[in-house]
Structure 1
């Protein structure tokens, strides 16, 4: 095996001849690359390389791109060699995350494992099963306007869905759900004109973070005085290293939970309704409910959408990946949208198959940072598709769908559709 340092011959920000992308198309940080769908072709070209691709962002910052399943599995599992504590999002490239070591998403084992244990118990499949009918009622309510005969923006409803579910589980006031949905969307799509504040991207992020952290700080104080059986109370009573989490740690993790839910859950369904309507896929799914019962349908929607577009790690020591030397301190970005269409793992990866087995997608990640809320997401998605296809039929596009402008969240923000209520509907 010959190990090379690909940075010596790497491509600049604007690609030159011989680079795996055309001139002006190499800015992997640009959110428009993902909102216009250009990323898929770029990822395919990067997957044809024998080594890793180094992307130079500016004079001081750059990162390695991982687009294959094997290397992604290595990076995400090996927390000793690849740390999350310096930050996991490209937006923070070159700047250490201030929540490192306090927030679950940016804490490495063994501290991460200890902090996550209580939350995992609260979010196990068994624990979520007891909330199943509560979640179903929320889903039915969200979908109800679809049967009124007019145009229904499916993506808007789906972007609200995780807040309805998580808000219920955290006992957040219903009157707060709408603005919490917008604020969390601003955190993951601050470049999107529809969600950006007049002051621009930086002002949008600053305002959204301030509002969310201030909100949870006030709520944490109230819940300390008035504990309950909700997820927030569970965090407040979680003990590790002989102590409870500090209020600041609880606030940071509330933010992380909410953000994770609002990124992962909505976009599998929105991709399905945006891209599979009038193709026969929806009718096939509705006619064969077993693909929902056994999970292959919604699992394929997660693979196809890959709602979390990327995760970042920093190498803690020199490592060789794909015959490439990654030096200690280098940033490594795993492109989950590319990994989930790796032809070495997924047969015919660009085909949407509701019966795909096996389907080892990494939409929830893998390793110690495997999404703690995966059981909630699976139950919610299963119920969503069950109620959607059980209550409605004759789905039609009612306008052009619009992608969310973000390099982190892969999804649609508007999917206008119409449908007809089934004549015989089994009420949930």
Structure 2
């Protein structure tokens, strides 16, 4: 039988109660157990979603690395989210996240230049007061929802860099969260999941269409203006391409940045880890990288095979979908020593939280700077962290994080604002 004739014979792990597509599955710890079981197999496992759709689960570090690097065999242009499984993404070839090299290489290089022109290092002085303001309520001694504050953090940073009006930030935060957590009742519209996604996408794209139209006649030194005026392939991006990439940048920032700190506070409070970290500020960088590995904020990415191939002793037919579970790859026992321990001294730590290969997150530098400042200011200014009530996970199969982390703390002695 040829590869193109091959058909999956079923998943070795029962997909009944362990439904990897179900957003509610990730509110508990079962996903880590299932991933561990799947990593122990000598082949990929197949997950049948419905009569017409299914996917192969990629759960080991080295398999994930191969799939994400080999764009010629595993394309991103049909879509990168399970939500769109079986439906081609309309932004394919326009939005950076769903464009393969060589067009992707050219666009990413220009976007990197745009970010460099904004100079991430120069943004430190802008990011620091925003972070301090977000954390300020901790000083009152009352219950502070760290999760809610962190959901707002990336918009404060990215919104400032893109020149978005501060009065729009709360609405934009909610809309981008709805795009990746439409099943969560705290973010769902009355019409349900489908209505939530339709409304969020319509409002976000309409917002950026109006803003791009206005900013095109009033260019400044913000990132949005840079995107509008940047040339690639001998031309400027069309308004539609600018809008699509604004959406992608905002969504990427809001998914990645909040959840490394929310995971850290939700799961490490009361374990001694926070006190150890605070006592060793020289570990800010390695601790931040471990928080990213531990959280793996982007839970999955989707790819499609462009041709018949073999991965982990498994025939993959052209056109079949593969889902790379980053949270599993970042806990692969073959790559990370004692991977189920949060180790702020972990070195090396080549996690895949930002992906790998041509689609390595273009905003990783901004995210890392923001997180370093956040953890530094948090531990330098406050101590005595305690959980005020049980944290709540964000209900999503794409974004891995907590939406609510109620804590209390007190100002560190001798530290003033």
- Name the residue aligned to 2:22: 30
Deviation at 1:123, TM superposition (A): 2.6
Matched, 1:385 2:375: yes
TM-score (structure 2 length as normaliser): 0.97
- Please report how far the alpha carbon of residue 126 of structure 1 lies from its aligned counterpart in structure 2 after TM superposition: 8.8
- Over residues 174-213 of structure 1, what are the superposed CA-to-partner deviations in whole Å (9 max), with x where a residue is unaligned? 0000010000000000000110001000000000000100
In structure 2, the residue matched to 1:47 is 39
**Match in the other structure for 2:59:** 67
**Aligned-partner SS, 1:227:** coil
Match of 2:157 in 1: 165
- Alpha-carbon distance between aligned partners in 1 of 2:270 and 2:164, rounded to the nearest angstrom: 38
What is the CA–CA distance in structure 1 between the aligned matches of 2:49 and 2:6, rounded to whole Å?
Answer: 15
Structure 1 vs Structure 2 CA RMSD: 1.5
- Report the Cα distance in structure 2 between the residues aligned to 1:370 and 1:190, rounded to whole angstroms: 25
Shift of 1:155: 0.4
* Residue 214, structure 1, aligned to residue 206, structure 2: yes
Q: Deviations over 1:368-421 (max 9, x none)?
A: 100000000000000000000000000000000000000000000000000001
Residue 10 of structure 2 corresponds to 10
> Is the CA contact 2:118–2:223 (under 8 Å) kept in the aligned structure 1?
no
Q: Which residue of 2 aligns with 1:357?
A: 347
**C-alpha spacing 1:8/1:182, structure 2 compared with 1 (3 Å):** closer
Gaps spanning 5+ residues in structure 1: where?
12-18
- 1:98 is matched with which residue? 90
Taking structure 1 as the reference length, the TM-score comes to 0.95
Question: For the residues of structure 1 that align with 2:357 and 2:244, how far apart are their CA atoms?
Answer: 22
**Partner of 2:412 in structure 1?**
422
- Structure 2: unaligned runs, 5 residues or longer: none
Contact 1:121 1:127 in 2 (8 A): no
**Counterpart-to-counterpart distance in 2, 1:9 and 1:94:** 19
Residues 125 and 152 (structure 1 numbering): CA distance in 2 closer, same or farther, change over 3 Å? farther
State which of 90, 107, 112 in structure 2 corresponds to 1:115: 107
SS in 2 for 1:320: strand
- Residue 225, structure 1, aligned to residue 217, structure 2: yes
The aligned residue for residue 16 of structure 1 is none
Shift of 1:278: 1.1
Q: Which residue of 2 aligns with 1:296?
A: 286
**Alignment partner, residue 310 of structure 1:** 300
Residue 300 and residue 241 in structure 1: after superposition, are their counterparts in 2 closer, same or farther (change >3 A)?
Answer: same
Q: Distance in 2 between matches of 1:194 and 1:367?
A: 35
- What SS does the aligned partner of 1:9 have? coil
Cα distance, 1:26 vs structure 2:
3.4
Which residue of 2 is the match for residue 372 of structure 1?
A: 362
Q: How far 1:8 moved relative to its partner?
A: 4.3
Count of residues paired in the alignment:
415
Structure 1 residue ranges (4+ consecutive) displaced by more than 2 angstroms after TM superposition: 3-9, 122-126
1:258-299 superposed Cα distances (whole Å, 9 cap, x missing partner): 00000000000000100000111000000000101xx10000
